[in-house]
Chains A and B, each alone.
Chain A
Amino acid sequence: MTKSAIDIIIGRFGIYYGVLNSSMILAFTDKNLQTYLGLGDCGDNEYLTEIFPELFGFETDIDDVIYKRRDHFSLNTINRTVDSEIFFNLHIFSDPENDDSALIIVEDVTQGSLSLRMVQQRKNEMTLKNNELIRREEFVTTLLNTIPDPVFYKDSSGRYIGCNREFELFTGFSRDELSGKCSRVLFSEINEDSYDRHDRVLIAKGGAIHYETEIINNNGEKYYVIINKSVFPDSDYGGAVIVGVITDITGRKKMEEELKNTTSMLEISRGNLRDQIYIMEKNLLIARNAVDALLQKDFPVTELFHISCRYLPLAQIGGDFYSVIKNGSDLNIFICDISGHGVAAALFLSLIKYFSESIINEYGDSPVRYLEELNHIYLSKIIPSYYFTAIAGKLSFDDGIKFTFSNGGHPHPILMKRNGEIKLLGDDGTVVGIFENQKFSEFSSVIERGDMLFFYTDGIPETHNSADSIIGFDGSLLEFFSKGRRDTLEDTMDAIISQVIDFRGEIKQEDDILLLGFIAK
């Protein structure tokens, strides 16, 4: 076989060769090598590294091969562009027939290398995409971890795909533990039917939902939560991905529970209070009736006086009391006002009535002694928690009519003379029921025919109006009574009471109003 025939045959297998001498000169004994490398215009003998710059730096290795210190030297997968890209392996073998030369073998590996590149390219592109996905996932994870509420996302069959750190803390499961599992597996206490039903509805209808539920986490802790879920299509996860955000409302629920308990307790207390109020009102009504029964309705009929009374009690029980008793030829008058209101005041009032009547025979003749004795009895029998104001008086008929009285801190009697004169009688005195051995003063005044004498409690002078002014005790009170003067006692008293009501206007009555009147016939 000729050399050229051999060259053709090995060329078909992509193998080309040349001979290298000890001066690093390459002889193109195989012309196909020049053609393969696209070196048509070069000479038959060229410096090795001019043809193969890839071998620059390997001169020592090549020397070793030429002088048989090593068998061969190779460089693989060298890439060049001739008409198109070529890849070849370059081998240098020792020449077995010559001591100072070597064979250069060029092995074309273009097809294999292009295939390899295709595979490598695909692999690299996939790695780049994968890295990008990892980077994006890291970004999303970082983003999710900045959200203070638990966040999760699941595939369309309810299996967890991922979550944020807060969700891991909340559930007590790590992300790896959650991944691929369903809620009903992880949270066995959950009403799974309800849970799955919400997911099914969400996937079927799309959009977003939110609902309240209870969760018992991996640590056995129970939470009340609001779960907000929305869905978006994703072919990688069974058609859809559900994203959920959990809002922990356990604290709010506990507060609601406490509020409910408190409300319930309050309701019970209100019921008890209602019962107590009912009992109190009933007691007050009884006391009210008792007080009414205590108050004198009919006055002694005398030839010398006509007596009349106007009494406007408060709804609650007041402490006003009066009595006009015929004592021989005299009339004994007693009027008092106990501090305070209510059942207790009613009880004290009944005691005062009892005390005042029990001493009338012995002390009725002297109003001052009467009052001092009443003070003494009251203080000796009762712990002094209620005091009272009082006037004890006597109308005697010896030589004309004489009014004698003693005042224990009560508003002054008013004498309205027939001639138009009007005046306050006596002085203030000290209230009854505070000091033991209290001394009182006695006053007297002549009453003439047609004169009117009035007793009242502080409900009249202390009546106030919307301008926050009161009727008053002195000159203003006299003026007020004076305006009420009419021809008869009854008309005068009606006029005075009417004026009181008019003065008060829309202001609610705050105290009992008592007016006791006498007119000398």
Chain B
Amino acid sequence: MGSDFKWKIVMVGEFAVGKTSLVRRFVNDEFSDSYLTTIGVKVTKKETVINDKISADLLLWDIAGSDKFSQISPEYIKGASAGIIVADITRKNTIETISAHVELIKSVNPGIVIFAALNKSDLVENPQDSLKLYESIFKNNDIKHFSATSAKSGENVENLFNKLSTFLYEEVQ
């Protein structure tokens, strides 16, 4: 029997912020310290249960990291229900480009729901301080939820995707 819902979720952000690692942690509960650049797109399906009764398939689009010289192909964004913008909590420039990523995603897909994750929170002493520091970026870009995550420790990873699933489910109700 098929799932009740199927949502395409794009993972975007600068290179080496941990997009692939977040997907691997969420889907396979795995983590590797070695860095392997993502080329193109890798789509991974993960079934989740919302409120203990609703099943949903999340199609997680792990898109190659972008920078100011190589932008994401708009085709990848098309048809996505949500986008998770991932930044490296230790690299200020990856956080400062969140606005540019939001702008690009919304230019292709205006109604998209956007979440943000400041990843690698295990590398800083007090991740909440960073969230507070960049709060204005999240709020100014209509980012529905933001949290500090660690693909390495698993901190807040499942919670992030579950929150997104619930949010999308509530949107369609």
Known interface pairs A56-B6, A57-B78, A58-B79; A120-B39 also in contact (CB < 8 Å):
yes
Q: Which of A77-85, A185-193, A233-241, A267-275 lines the interface with chain B?
A: A77-85
How far, in angstroms, from A114 to B59 measured CA to CA in the complex?
24
Q: Is A117 in contact with B80, judged by CB distance below 8 angstroms?
A: no
Chain B: interface size category: 20 to 34
Cβ A53 vs Cβ B59 within 8 A: yes
Complex-state Cα separation, A489 to B65, whole angstroms: 128
Contact with A along B11-35 (1 / 0, CB 8 A): 0000110000000000000000001
Output the residue of B16, B36, B45 with the most chain A CB within 10 A.
B16
Any chain B CB within 8 A of the CB of A315? no
Could you tell me the distance between the alpha carbons of A54 and B6 in the complex, rounded to whole angstroms?
12
In the complex, what's the smallest C-beta–C-beta distance from A111 to chain B, in angstroms? 12
Q: Is A124 engaged at the interface, CB distance under 8 Å to the other chain?
A: yes
B40 and A76 contacting across the interface, CB-CB below 8 Å: yes
For B64, the chain A residues whose CB sits under 8 A away are 77, 120
Whether A53 touches B45, Cβ cut-off 8 Å, given contacts A75-B75, A77-B40, A120-B39, is yes
Number of A interface residues at 8 Å Cβ cutoff, please give it: 24
Closest B residue to A52 by CB, please name it.
Answer: B43
| Structural contact, A53 and B43, CB atoms closer than 8 A | yes
Does the CB pair B39–A78 fall under 8 Å? Answer: no
**B66: min CB distance to chain A, Å:** 11
Q: For residue B6, which residues in chain A have a CB less than 8 angstroms away from its CB? A: 56
Out of A113, A125, A127, name the residue touching B40 (CB < 8 Å).
A113
Q: How far is the CA of A330 from the CA of B45 in the complex (A)?
A: 152
Q: Is A305 located at the chain interface by the 8 A CB criterion?
A: no
* Bound-complex Cα distance A58 to B75 (A): 9
Q: Does A116 contact B (CB under 8 A)?
A: yes
B41-A124 in contact (CB<8A): no
Q: Of the candidates A54, A76, A79, A114, which one forms a contact with B73 in the assembled complex, judged by CB atoms under 8 Å apart?
A: A76
- What is the bound-complex CA distance between A61 and B74, given in angstroms? 14
Decide yes or no whether A87 CB sits under 8 A from chain B.
yes
B38 in contact (CB, < 8 A): yes
From A61, A87, A125, B39 is in contact (CB under 8 Å) with A87
* Bound complex: CA A171 to CA B60 (Å): 58
* Per-position binary interface string of chain B over residues 41-77, scored 1 when its CB falls under 8 Å from any chain A CB and 0 otherwise: 1110100000000000001000011010000010100
Q: Would you list 5 pairs from A and B whose C-beta atoms are within 8 A, ordered by A residue?
A: A56-B6, A57-B79, A79-B42, A117-B36, A120-B37
